[in-house]
Structure formats: structure tokens, C-alpha cells
A and B are shown apart, each in its own frame.
Chain A
Amino acid sequence: MESSQKEKSQKKFVSRFWQTIEKHTLAKIGLLILVLILFISLIGPNLTPYTIDEINLRASYQSPSQEHWLGTDRLGRDVFTRVSYAGRISLLVGVSGTFLSIFVGVFFGAIAGFFGGKIDSVLLKMQEIQMCFPPIILVIALMSFVRGGIFELIIFLGLFNWVGAFRLARGEFVSIREEEYVESARIIGASNLSIMFKHILPNALPPLVVSATLQVALLILAEAGLSFLGLGVRPPIPSWGNMLSSARQLEVLRTRYWLWIPPGALISLTVIAINFLGDGLRDAVDPYSGI
């Protein structure tokens, strides 16, 4: 009986999600593209006989062919293998960076919004200070200082992008804490912790989910930009950003299109797809959107 109860509520949630996605053409397209990109990056590297760092100088700069679907780069590495593997890296950075930033933002936002008063004003000041420093500049400075890799990149991107989630969560908590169901939870003896995370947070989630989706796109772009500058993911591990970076010569740009079109197109496609999906989610969450 226990499990059937759980199944029932899960089914409800999933079916509601599908209903909104189905009606929203753009969101459907976005979801399709995302699933496709995820699929390619997960199984792509295993479809070819090559590895991401297998150097074959005799096969340098080959154009797309039967053996090399997307050609090879200067060192003779297979571009398809690398570009699909890079998808894993970019999505990993985008998604886990987002999780970290949402976690930090929601944690502080919940405290600020729920307790108010002095804690609130201190956290608001912290947030204002953070807003004075563009996160990307901070990450550039720190990454060149510690000369870190993917892990450091995720940490820095996550820690310096908490402001959006903080403001959203704080606003939601400030308004929801006055709701009567919060008071009735208090009346049956709920503790602050249980009220904050069990009663308020689920009601504050919808706008946070939307902002998280869009945040993933932003962080993928940030990762690409940083890797392009040589500060993000370091070769030989491929990322869409550093693949673009290594194709940054006039001659390559003019004649060896297979080196820069795939990673560039994948960045744009992923970001567009995520934005479409985020739009759909926003409409699903907003009862006045008329969809």
C-alpha cells in the first residue's frame, strides 16, 4: 500500500510535466535536441575505434570521411570522438555548476527570507558585494591563480553564480512564510527546519526550476568561454570551448571547417535547446500564461 501511494503521486507529477511539454512546441523541440545531444555525448565516443587523445600524425587534417566522420585535427585525432566526449564535459560542468549555485543560493536565500531581520540584511549585503564583481572575471582570476581543472571550474562557477537563486529563493520565502499553511504547520508543532525545507521550499521550487534550467545554458557558455581562453578545461581533455580555441587560425577557419563548426554548432544548439525547455517550464509554472 505504501509503495502504491508513492507511485501514484509520482505518476501525477510526471503526467503533469508531459502535458505541458506536449502542448508547447518549442519546449518539445528543445527537449528532443537535448536528449539527442546527451545521447550522442554518452555513446558517441564508443562508436568509433579511436580515443580522444590518440595521436596519428600521418592522418593530420583529414576532411570528413568514412573512417573519420568529422575529420581529424592537426594531431590526427578523430574530431567526432572528441566533440562527442566534449559534450559530456560541457554538460557536466553546466549541470553540476548549476546544482552547486542553486544549492548555495537557495540555502542562503531560505535563511534570509525565513528569518528576516539582521540575518537578512547581512546576507543581502553579501549578495550586493557579490554583485559588484562580475562572476566571470572572478573565475578567470581564480582559475589562472590555481591553474585548476574541471573540478575547480565547477566549484568556482557554482560558488560565484548564487545571486540569482538567492534573490528568487529569498523572495519566495518572504511571501510564503506568511501563508496560513505555514502557520498551521507551526501550530501542530513543526520546527523551523521542517517548516523551511518541508513546507516552504516545495512551494518555492517552480521559479527556481526555471531559473536553474537557464543557468545550465549560461554555465555551458561560461565554460566554453573560459576554455577558449585556455582557463577552463585543459587539453588533452576536449571541451567545446577548447576545441574552438585550437581552431583559432585564419587558415583553419577558412579551409578546415570540420574543426570549428561541430563544437560551435553544438554549443549554440545546446544553449538554444535549454532555453526553449526553460521557456516551456516557465509557462508550465505560470498559471496565467494561457497555455
Chain B
Amino acid sequence: MPQNDYNSSWPDNLIMKVNDLEVNFRQAGKIIKAVRGISFRVKKNLSLGIVGESGSGKTVTVRSLMNLLPGRGGKVEKGEVLFKLSDGEIVDILKLDPKGKKIQNIRGNEISMVFQQPMSSLNPVYDIGMQIGEVFKFHSKKKKAEINREIIELLNSVNLPKPEERVHDYPFQLSGGMNQRAMIAMALGANPQLLICDEPTTALDVTVQDKILFLLERIKEKHESSILYISHDLAVVSELVDEIIVMYLGEIMEYGNVEVIFDNPLHPYTELLLKSIPELGRKQDKLEIIEGEIPSEDEVIPGCVFESRCPKAMQICKQPPPSIEKENGHKVTCWLYSQEVGNNGK
């Protein structure tokens, strides 16, 4: 049992631990750093949100959590993704063979995922019942009649109207919201411990978005699973998640409880992000914006990645910033809060 050495320091309420994950893409001889060494934890029965602009490495991060990167040209440079299986064994997902039996047994069964585009995430040649049924086929030994009953039950639980008829429908016969419900049903089929949602509501309109969020919340309570929710929409995330990771250019800027981060953002980037949300009832001529542009991913940045756009940038920001832990696990990666700067910087 080589895995046992992880066990000693494994808290009970943890299901996933990501340590120093670094992912690079190679393109035309250039190395593009998509994820620059991030670490975080996913706790049992809690939802964690990852927010950031486009290109901040959110999607690449969660793809590597399921060891899905190799087909897409990305390479995990270093780091580990430790995951506690439901039978108690702790595995490093990145060390598993990406096409092997073990990872196939984790995908769908222990960790599942819902995508951004519900229309293109379902196979056009099969009806949705058959596609949901596949989860059962892969991960359980149930009989066909029993599976059929459970598919309908699942569709019912994601509030798809008339599930008995809808199971025979093809994805093109359903609306975007209905497809997304079918996708969620598919992801929930094997009752996974961790449900990853990669911007599941981006392609849907606002009313449907709200219903899907409500559904996800109920699922979390009912199935006692953890949710990893990725979005670029802070308002959406704040409704659903318990903890937030703010990412910028492949690095974690700030991490903490939702209320704490919204009330008391420490990192200048988070502050600016929150300011750029339009607020109902507040008179505004112009929305706040963050000056400048995201540097290109292949640029070598020795110091803080946000330094080029940060209004509070200092001389010391050219050096790699420290990760500082404040009260209640609130973490921020910024020079502003380090001891040395705090004393003589301002």
C-alpha cells in the first residue's frame, strides 16, 4: 500500500487536495504557462468557486483534476492532485494512467463534470435516456429495468418536465436549459463525491440560470456532495458557493470564505473585480474597469502577475509575492500584507 503515506495527515473533512499544480502548453515552440503552481483544498459537502477572467486558467485547472489534459496538448509540469476515494483510499490522480481502468472508474463515479455548452455536450445520435443510462452501465451492475426507472427518477430530480416522455428525446429536440438538466442528471447518475461545474450557466439565459443554480444548491444538500463551481461571474458564484478562489493568469490571488471576501477583499485585484459589478440602485455613469490588459501567457513574469495592472504596485512587487494567511483561513498572495512592507512600505 504505497498510498498510505498520504493518510497520516489527511483531515476527515477533506476530499481533494491540490498541491503546487503547474500546467504548461507548448505552442509553436513557445511555452505557455496556463497554471503557475496553485494549491487548494476541496472540503466535504462544501462548494468552492473558482473565479477569474477568461484565460486565467480555471478550465485547465479543473480538466487536470480529472486527468483529462493529455489529449489537448497540455502537460502537467509538476504538482499532485490527491483525492480520497469513497472506499477511503487516497490516490494521486495525476499519476494514474489517463486511459486506464482506475481513472475511468473515478470519472463519472467519484468525480463528475457539467460543461458550459449543454447543446454540444450531448451526443446528437442518441436520446438522452440512453446517454444518462451509460453512467449506470459503466459504474453499476443494475438490471436494465431498474436503470430505466432510475433514469426517470434522476430526470425528475433535476426538474425536467414529463421525464417519461423526455427520455426518448434527442438533444436537438430539447431547449438549452433542458439539455443542461439532462447533463446534470448524467453527471449525478453515479452519485459522485465531487461535481465540477465548468460555467454551467453561461450559455443559458438569466431565468434559466437562476433555476439551475437553485437546482445545484438542492443537489448539494441532497447528495451531500462537494461542488467545484467555475465562473467568471462573481454575482452568480456568490449565490451558490461557500468559499472562493480568485485566479489571475494561472495563479491564486485570494482565497477565503465568500462573505469574508465580499466584505473585506484584501487583494487589489479582488477589490477591483468587486467594484466592476454593477449594483442595483446605485447611480453610476460608468462602470469601474481594471486598467490595462492581461499579459500574454508566454511572458516571463518573475514577480507578481498582477503587477502590470495593479494600482497599488510597489517596487517590491517585481519579486514573487508571499502567500499570507489572515484570520479564518483567508489567504492572499500580495506584498501589501507582508510584515516587511507593512512596516516600511507605506
Contacts and interface: CB of A to CB of B under 8 A. Distances in A.
Interface of A: 1-2, 5, 8-9, 177, 179-181, 183-192, 199, 202-203
Given A179-B120, A199-B123, A203-B125, A188 B186 contact: yes
A9 to B, nearest CB: 7
A190 B126 CA distance: 15
B86 interface: no
Contact of A184 (B115, B127, B138): B115
Given A188-B108, A189-B109, A190-B138, A181 B122 contact: yes
Contacts of B168: 5, 8-9
Interface stretch (B99-107, B221-229, B236-244): B99-107
Which of A5, A177, A180, A199 has most B Cβ within 10 Å? A180
Interface in B151-171: 168
A191 B134 CA distance: 11
A183 B190 CA distance: 17
B68 A188 contact: no
A187 B66 contact: yes
Interface in B34-72: 66, 68, 71
B68 A183 contact: yes
A203 B124 contact: yes
Interface of B: 66, 68, 71, 99, 104-109, 112-113, 115, 117, 120-127, 134-135, 138-139, 144, 148, 168, 183, 186-187, 189-190
B138 A181 contact: no
A188 B187 contact: yes
B107 A188 contact: yes
B115 A188 contact: no
A185 B134 contact: yes
Contacts of A5: 168
Contacts of B66: 187
A180 B198 CA distance: 12
A204 to B, nearest CB: 10
A39 B323 CA distance: 81
B188 to A, nearest CB: 11
A173 to B, nearest CB: 13
A169 to B, nearest CB: 16
Contact of A180 (B106, B121, B127): B121
Nearest to A181: B123
Contacts of B187: 187-188
Nearest to B66: A187
A179 B138 CA distance: 21
Contacts of B148: 1-2
A186 B67 CA distance: 11
21 contacts: A2-B144, A2-B148, A9-B127, A9-B168, A180-B117, A180-B121, A181-B122, A181-B124, A183-B121, A184-B113, A184-B115, A184-B183, A184-B186, A186-B107, A187-B113, A188-B108, A188-B187, A188-B190, A189-B105, A190-B104, A203-B123
Contacts of A203: 123-125
Given A9-B168, A188-B186, A203-B123, A183 B134 contact: no
Given A181-B121, A191-B99, A199-B123, 13 more contacts: A5-B168, A177-B71, A183-B121, A184-B113, A187-B66, A187-B68, A187-B108, A187-B113, A188-B107, A188-B134, A189-B104, A189-B139, A203-B123
A180 B120 contact: yes
A192 B107 contact: no
A180 B115 contact: yes
Contact of A192 (B99, B123, B126, B127): B99
Contacts of B183: 184
B228 to A, nearest CB: 13
Nearest to B72: A178
Which of B71, B105, B187 has most A Cβ within 10 Å? B71
B115 A189 contact: no
A9 B127 CA distance: 9
A188 B120 contact: no
A184 B184 CA distance: 11
Nearest to B135: A188
Contacts of A187: 66, 68, 107-108, 112-113, 187
A200 to B, nearest CB: 9
A30 to B, nearest CB: 26
Which of A5, A180, A189, A203 has most B Cβ within 10 Å? A189
A103 B117 CA distance: 34
B67 to A, nearest CB: 10
Contacts of B120: 179-181
B20 to A, nearest CB: 25
A184 B134 contact: no
B97 to A, nearest CB: 12
B109 to A, nearest CB: 6
Contacts of B113: 184, 187
Contacts of B104: 189-191
Given A183-B115, A184-B186, A190 B124 contact: no
A186 B134 CA distance: 11
A2 to B, nearest CB: 7
